[in-house]
Amino acid sequence: MTMLARHAGMRPAVLARMMSTHQNCDAARHLYRVTSGLESMVIGEAEVQGQVKRAYEDALARASTGPLSNHLFMAALATGKRVRTETAIGERHLSLASVAVTLAHELLGGLQGRRVVIIGTGETSELAARALADGGSELMFVATRRRDRAISAAQRYGGEALSFDELPDALERADVVVSATASPHLLIESSELAQVLAAREQADLAAAREPRPMLMIDLAVPRDLDPACGELERVSLYDIDDLQAVIDRNRRVRQSEAARAEGIIEEEIQSFATWLGSLEVLPTLAALRSHAREIAEQVVRENDGKWDTASDRDIERVQAISKAIVNRLLHHPTARIRDLRDDRVHARMALIRDLFGLSVDEGEAVDGAAADAQDLSEIRQLPQRQP
């Protein structure tokens, strides 16, 4: 906590109020939910999985991971991939820009080669431009105020930068118009658009082709485009309310898919819990059997010399009996502990170590040097139920 606070430049007490902590499998479950997009503000978004992957790869490059963190992060990333493969949690868009681009793709039968006029150079316009460029559209950026921002966007996405005065000419060439500005008044009136459409029709007839339709998408609040534009022939107009209805439907679908994702996460957590428990079960059982055997041997030693008539063979029999008692006493508990499969294995092993005063290093390998070879051999020979 102190190290994180120092890195963040704040007091530990302030940082503590902003943090939440998880332990054992709850910590793993939280990471699985993050990589699956269930902890994101937009349920199912995939960007956070890439962020987790990059953070893990950076930790690997710095040699700051270990067996536990390696297994945990690889399993979490695999879980996120499984959730996105087996559910539709990330298939439906929940942002205005992405829904607008999907709408254009569906209505036009593709975006390749389509001419798109983007009015405005803000964040929403940027998101739409990125998706449209990926789809192969030819972009024309129209700046309402700062021309330099339109030029910058055109350079990033391979488009054309235009001034607002050039908008009528751009509309004559456009298949799609996306407007997202902060203008307090309408930018395109229906009467102005009607003149543009008349010029388009003449050009199309002169070229012996069918008059082209126009898709208009208004992402601005208040509106940039006159609602009456949608009443003109061959014009389809969608505003932010239309797109929000699609987003709401998509969100309901994602929420239903999130329930399926939860089931996948719990399956994977059980696998992780079994693996995590295996790190401690055998060393803990070996330590328990060693501890019990030491007590039995100690009792035998304490009575050494008190059996005046006992022969060496009698002493050997007493020692054998003490070992048999230990084995029979611990046989059933050992078998039961090995069969544990839930996410409480870690806590149960900690309880056993605490009850018997055992010392087992956290994360010690199953076949580590601290484990007694004979005990491990005996433990492995016990019957084990299949999971």
Q: pLDDT per position in the chain (387 positions), as tens?
A: 788 888 878 888 888 887 778 887 889 999 999 999 888 766 777 778 888 999 999 999 999 988 889 999 999 999 999 998 898 887 666 667 778 888 888 888 888 989 999 999 888 888 888 888 888 899 999 987 778 888 998 999 888 999 999 999 999 999 999 999 989 999 999 999 999 999 999 998 998 999 899 999 998 989 999 999 999 999 999 998 888 888 787 778 788 888 899 999 999 998 888 787 677 687 888 888 889 999 999 998 888 878 778 888 888 888 899 999 999 999 888 888 777 766 577 778 888 888 899 887 544 433 333 333 344 344 344 343 333
Q: Is the peptide bond before 222 cis (omega within 30 degrees of 0)?
A: yes
CA 2 from centroid of its chain's CA atoms: 27
Token duo for residue 263? 């089931």
b/e per residue, 66-79, with b = 16+ CB within 10 A?
Answer: eeeeebbbebbbeb
pLDDT of residue 92: 62
What is the CATH code for 96-238? 3.40.50.720
Q: What is the CATH number assigned to the segment(s) 2-86? A: 3.30.460.30
Question: Which run of H or of E encompasses 8?
Answer: helix 2-8
Closest CA to 273 of 26, 21, 22: 26
Q: At what angle do helices 96-108 and 123-134 cross, to 10 degrees?
A: 40
Q: Both tokens of residue 238?
A: 């969608």
Instruction: For the beta carbon of residue 374, count every other beta carbon within 10 angstroms.
Output: 12
Amino acid of residue 121: T
pTM, to two decimals: 0.50
User: Which residue is associated with the tokens 């067996």?
Assistant: 67
- HEC readout, 339-363: CCCCCCHHHHHHHHHHHHCCCCCCC
In terms of Cβ atoms closer than 10 Å to its own Cβ (0-12, 13-18, 19+), residue 156 is middle
DSSP 177: E
Q: Which helix (H) or strand (E) holds 201?
A: helix 190-206
Kindly report the backbone phi and psi dihedral angles of residue 25, in degrees, each rounded to the nearest multiple of 5, phi listed first: -70, -20
- Per-residue pLDDT of 242-292, as tens digits, reads 888 887 877 787 888 888 999 999 999 988 887 876 776 878 888 888 899
Listed in order, strand segments (DSSP E) in 120-258 are 138-143, 160-163, 176-179, 214-218, 235-238
Q: Where does residue 185 rank: exposed (0-12), middle (13-18), buried (19+ CB within 10 A)?
A: exposed
Contact 84, 90 (CB under 8 A): yes
Beta strands 115-119 and 160-163: pairing type?
A: unpaired
